[in-house]
Structure 1
Amino acid sequence: MVEFEPACKEVATGTVQSAIEFENGPKLDPIQIVATYDADQWEEFTHEWVHSLKDDYIDVERATGAGDKGIDVAGFCDNDRLAGKWDNYQCKCYQRKPLSFGDVSPEIGKILWYSFSGVYTAPRFCYYISPKGASTTLSLLVNHAPNLKAKVLEEWDKMISGKITDTQRVVLSGDFLRYVEGFDFRIFRVPSTRWTLDQYRTKTLFFNARFGGGLPPRPKPENPPEEVTEDEKTYVDCLLEAYAEHKGVEAVCVSDLPKWRPLNDHLRRSREAFFDAEGLRVFVRDKTEPGTFESLQDEIHGGVVDTSDRPHKDGFERVLAVTDKAQSLALNAHPLNKVALPTARRGVCHQLANDGKLVWKQ
């Protein structure tokens, strides 16, 4: 006897979705994202990563156009460039499958032929970088240089000879054969995709822009020193002018402020906010794309400039109105929204005054 049960059941889940996941769906693993890249996107991704290695190289350049002679991205170790020590990064984009020997063998042939011909010296390392890494067969070959050499020699006529140049088949004989037999095949590498992504995550400014994930926790900002520093002097002088206008006196010095406790406390809080914003600027400098913090300054400036330009009783009242406005701005679309807390936003206003973009006095 056939028995039936309800086809639709409640589906239990062990997780609770965040608001962002509820709206946009679960976050994809970066490996899944790069697997969708076309050749141009993958090459640009690789160039961003190699450019981040500029501390290891004196220069990094990307080959463009036809006739690249087996070079996509070159990292130069010295001023001799292609005649000296350099590393080659060849970008291979095959979305459906890992790299095979057939995919890289013509590129290996180009390195052998053009280094033999004197177009460049053999690179120190030659990396073949793919969204899906190497096939098992290719991985075994590149991790055992004698076997890779034997495979290249065995398959030269069939898989390599006619794919090096458009004008001739490159015959493996004579001096060239002896050159290949003596070549160090340990230079050829096929890094795993996870290793490439880890390098990209730790060494570039672009990881969050490509894959999300946000910024790490921000360190507590430093307290301002006792004495006003040169970096903050311009905006502190602007505040002192605003205080003088507020008190109806010709000038106010920092040493005068203890007799006006509210103003003294305001300067202390303002300096703390300034250093908070400076700490934020330094914090994001090495973690985000260039211009990210400056775009925050521009967004805050756009949000407070109308308040700044309105008539106010005096300069100090203008300061209070502008900084209140800055602290209440909705910056939900800005990537620094979660780390640019109200105190830092207030400090950005003081940075803008320090740069002459906001003026406190009437």
Structure 2
Amino acid sequence: MFRDSRSYTILVIDDNSGDRLLIETYLEEAIKAPKIVEAKNFAEANLILTQSPKYFDTVLLDLSLPDKSGENLIMEILRIAANIPVIVLTGYSDMAFGRKSLSLGISDYLLKDDLNATNLFKSIIYGIERNAASQRIYDSEKRYKELFHLSPIPMWVYEMGNLGFLDVNQAAIKHYGYSKEEFLSMTIRDIRQKEENNFLDNAIETSTSDGEINHLGIFRHLKKNQEIIDVEISSNILDFNGLKAKLVLANDVTQRRRYIEAIEEQNVKLKEISWIQSHVVRAPLARMMGLINMLTEDDDFSDSEKKIFINHIIESGHELDKIIRNISNKTENINIPEK
């Protein structure tokens, strides 16, 4: 028979020395070097498991101990053993009780009369692997919950059938102003303006692929204080406790959009100023330069003619001053908000 070379530490809880010897023989047939710890009653098992709760790979439990037995014994051992797989070994072929034992949370239920090295080893491996798979699922769910609830960006889960909120993270509670209880009594329509319901329906219909992140675009949401915000929505379909649901990430882009709009508005003003400088300013300036050149290059003008030239220069100066003031006013109106 193949013998597993991996290390296994097994607690055998049985008051019958003959049964313990037989169990240990089966273990040594299937495993090269099993580490076996014995307990003859519940009190010993309780002490061993309490002192070393994570030391054992599996527990083999006889149902009839001198100080405890039956369902009560199973419940106590499961409580103390925590996540360690517990395999019940019994001489009683009570299938009804066997099924009940499995429902309580034991890994397997084996009859001592049918026991051999092969089925005992298979049961141990099955229990260990199932426990490891359960732990992986638990760890995955724990990571999801941490990512969800600790995210600084508002997130929620809603049921795709009735659009009701199923869960919501702390960031959403803080940002939107609703309590968790209020959220869970609402639907996603309650945080949207009524005129956007058609956009919402279209977005829901076009994002039905499981496991695929959908970037739905930017929508207008309504906070509890009636403030309207722009949010960029991404979503993914998932199973939430048996319900077809959608996980939504809502990134508030209100300030970013206002910043971009302000920059675009200022760019228009700057282009207008640039056009004024290159076209409107040039006319009075060219006129002034021409009049000044005529006065400086020709000394034959009479005093009355010179006065006319000077009046034209002054008029051009006033016109130029007015244009410059207009440019200055436009410049003062350029006010890009802080991010």
Task: Please tell me the TM-score bracket, short chain as reference.
Answer: under 0.3
* Bigger RCO of structures 1 and 2 (CA < 8 A, at least 6 apart): 1
Larger Rg: 2
Question: Whose strand proportion is higher, 1 or 2?
Answer: 2
Q: What is the TM-score with the length of structure 2 in the denominator?
A: 0.22
Q: What is the TM-score with the length of structure 1 in the denominator?
A: 0.21
